[in-house]
Amino acid sequence: MSSELPVQRPRNDIEPAEPLDNPGLPEHLPRPTDVDPAMERRAERQISAFFGLATLLTLVFCVAYFVVPKDATFLGWSALNFSLGASLGLALLAIGIGAIQWAKKLMDDHEVIEMRHPVASSEEDRAATLGMLNDGIKESGFGRRPMIRNSLLGALGVLGLPAVVLLGDLGPLPGRTQFSTVWTKGMRVVTDVSGLPIKAADLEVGELVNAEPAILFETDEEGERVLEGTEALQAKSKAAVIVVRIRPEDITAPAGRENWGVDGILCYSKICTHVGCPISLYEQQTHHVLCPCHQSTFDLSDGGSVIFGPGKRPLPQLPLSVDEEGYLIATSDFTEPVGPSFPEIEQES
């Protein structure tokens, strides 16, 4: 019943075909839908059914958008999200499957041959183009007039500079801002979120407090926060601290910092010296604090020195004291820069 195209046998033409000759395109075998009209009609019906299903599901999408309430749940998921997504997804999938089935089952599937052309342009194209290029250059006099050429190239070359210079106001110069935080002498250490001051006597051994400088919770005469919005976040990103209480006999204070704690209460910067994630993964038995980002580990009983991980600088310590009412206060700002290292970090001023 089927009539075949003559079998084509082009030769393998990379180099002499070896060790075997190219046997040529294999004979085309028909599909069931090519020879059996019943199968063909069945395939047609199947493909049309997919498209019909897609239409139906698209309409379901449109109805669901208006009908499903925003807070309904289904299987513990958002019902609206699920109904919209499932109907849209299945509709699109159905169109795709229908189209592909059409190609696979019904469209002509004889393999077709197309010859390639060399990718490079032909010799005469090259020659003609070269000739035209030469004509153009000759007429412009570009080659004969070095003064024009050189001054033009100079002018164009420098034109890149304004593009860079115009970016000059992208941001302020860092100056010395990276070296200081909002902590000052006498500023109270307060619990983050609640803003409550911390009494030294209330802290137990093994305790961890995530704390901030009191200025973040201060309000002015109108009841507005002194620091808010972006300014508050910028202050937090350097001034956030953790306060821990360790048994005094377990602490090895670095030289000069023996009085930076209060009865085993120590305060360290919460900002990791690696790339700045806040650290509060504190293990009370080992006194190690682990940064969840890249696992830099610091020993708080040993001056915040690095135990493991990619961080290099020890965690900066904030010197503590207590005020007349027994609340924890800082006795000065950090004595070294907080947060990730930067190129000028060792430069005095």
Partner 1 sequence: MSDTKTPTHTPVEQTKFGKRAGGPVKWLDERVGAAGVARGLIRKVFPDHWSFMLGEIALYSFIVLLLSGTFLTFWFQPSMQEITYTGSYTPLYGLEMSQAYASTLDISFDIRGGLLMRQIHHWSAMLFIAAMYVHMLRVFFTGAFRKPRELNWVIGVLLMVLGLIEGFAGYSLPDDLLSGTGLRFVDGLIRSIPIVGSYLEYFVFGGEFPGNEIIPRLYMVHILLVPALLLGLIAAHMLLLVYHKHTQWPGPGRTEKNVVGYPVLPVYAAKAGGFFFVVFGFTALMGAVLQINPIWAYGPYNPSEVTAGSQPDWYMGFVEGAVRLMPNWEFTTLGWTFSLNVFIPAVLLLGAFFTAIGAYPFIERWVTKDDREHHLLQRPRNAPVRTALGVAAMTFYGVLWIGGGNDIIATQFRLDIYAITWFCRVMVFVGPVIAFIITKRICLGLQRADKEQVLHGYESGVIERSPDGGYSERHTPLSEVGQYELTTHERVEVAAPPPAADDRGVRVSGARKARRHAFVSKFYYGDVVDKPSRDDVDEARHHAGHDGHELEADEEFRGVGETGVPRSH
Partner 2 sequence: MRFLSRRRRHPLAGFVVLLLGLVVAGGLYSTLAPRSAGADTADARQVETGRQLFLVGCAGCHGKNAAGILAAKGGNYGPSLVGVGAAAVDFQVGTGRMPLANSSQQAPRKPPVYTAEETAALSAYVASLAPGPAIPDTEYTDPSDEADVTNGGEFFRTNCTACHNSVGAGGALPGGRYAPPLDDVSGKYIYEAMITGPQQMPVFADSVITPEDKRDIIAYIESVSEEPRYGGLAGGGLGPVSEGLFSWIIGIGGLVVAAIWIGAHGARVKKQT
**Candidate residues 205, 251, 253, 345; the one interacting with partner 1 per rule CB under 8 A:** 345
Q: Return the residues of window 117-146 that contact partner 1 according to CB under 8 A.
A: 118-119
Q: How far is the CB of 189 from partner 1 (least distance, A)?
A: 13
The option from partner 2, partner 1, none interacting with 349 (CB < 5 to 8 A, set by class) reads none
Q: How many residues would you count in the chain? A: 349
Q: Binding of partner 1 at residue 313 (CB under 8 A)?
A: yes
Residues 6+ apart with CB under 8 A from 187: 213, 214, 215, 329, 330
The option from partner 1, partner 2, none interacting with 171 (CB < 5 to 8 A, set by class) reads partner 1
The option from partner 1, partner 2, none interacting with 166 (CB < 5 to 8 A, set by class) reads none
Q: Binding of partner 1 at residue 275 (CB under 8 A)?
A: yes
Q: How far is the CB of 61 from partner 1 (least distance, A)?
A: 9
The option from partner 2, partner 1, none interacting with 159 (CB < 5 to 8 A, set by class) reads none
Could you give the count of Cα atoms lying within 13 Å of 49 in the half-sphere of its Cβ? 6
| Closer to partner 2 by Cβ: residue 152 or 281 | 281
Peptide bond into 197 cis (omega under 30): no
Q: How far is the CB of 288 from partner 2 (least distance, A)?
A: 7
Binding mask 47-86 for partner 1 (x = CB under 8 A): ------------------x----xx-----xx-xxx-xxx
Q: Binding of partner 1 at residue 258 (CB under 8 A)?
A: no
The option from partner 1, partner 2, none interacting with 29 (CB < 5 to 8 A, set by class) reads partner 2
Q: Binding of partner 1 at residue 329 (CB under 8 A)?
A: no
Q: Binding of partner 1 at residue 108 (CB under 8 A)?
A: yes
In the block, residue with structure tokens 């003064």:
147
| 191 membership: H or E segment, kind and range | strand 189-191
Residues 6+ apart with CB under 8 A from 313: 273, 306, 336, 341
| Closer to partner 2 by Cβ: residue 125 or 283 | 283
SS3 annotation, 123-150: HHHHHHHHHHHHHHHHHHCCCCCHHHHH
Joined tokens for residue 208: 């961890």
| Closer to partner 2 by Cβ: residue 33 or 317 | 33
| Closer to partner 2 by Cβ: residue 277 or 345 | 277
| Closer to partner 2 by Cβ: residue 179 or 215 | 215
| Closer to partner 1 by Cβ: residue 8 or 285 | 8
Q: How far is CA 121 from CA 90, 118, 134, 137, in A?
A: 47, 7, 18, 22
Residues 6+ apart with CB under 8 A from 189: 197, 198, 211, 212, 213, 214, 241, 243, 267, 318, 320, 327, 328, 329, 330
The option from partner 2, partner 1, none interacting with 209 (CB < 5 to 8 A, set by class) reads partner 2
With CA atoms as reference, report the closest residue to 261 among 203, 337, 346.
Answer: 203
- Rounded CA-CA distance 240/192 in Å is 9
Q: How far is the CB of 138 from partner 1 (least distance, A)?
A: 31
In the block, residue with structure tokens 């499903």:
68
Q: Return the residues of window 277-306 that contact partner 1 according to CB under 8 A.
A: 277-281, 292-296, 306
Q: Note the Cα 69 to chain centre separation in Å.
A: 34
**Candidate residues 53, 56, 93, 208; the one interacting with partner 1 per rule CB under 8 A:** 93
| Closer to partner 2 by Cβ: residue 135 or 283 | 283
The option from partner 2, partner 1, none interacting with 174 (CB < 5 to 8 A, set by class) reads partner 1
Sign of CA dihedral 87, 88, 93, 96: positive
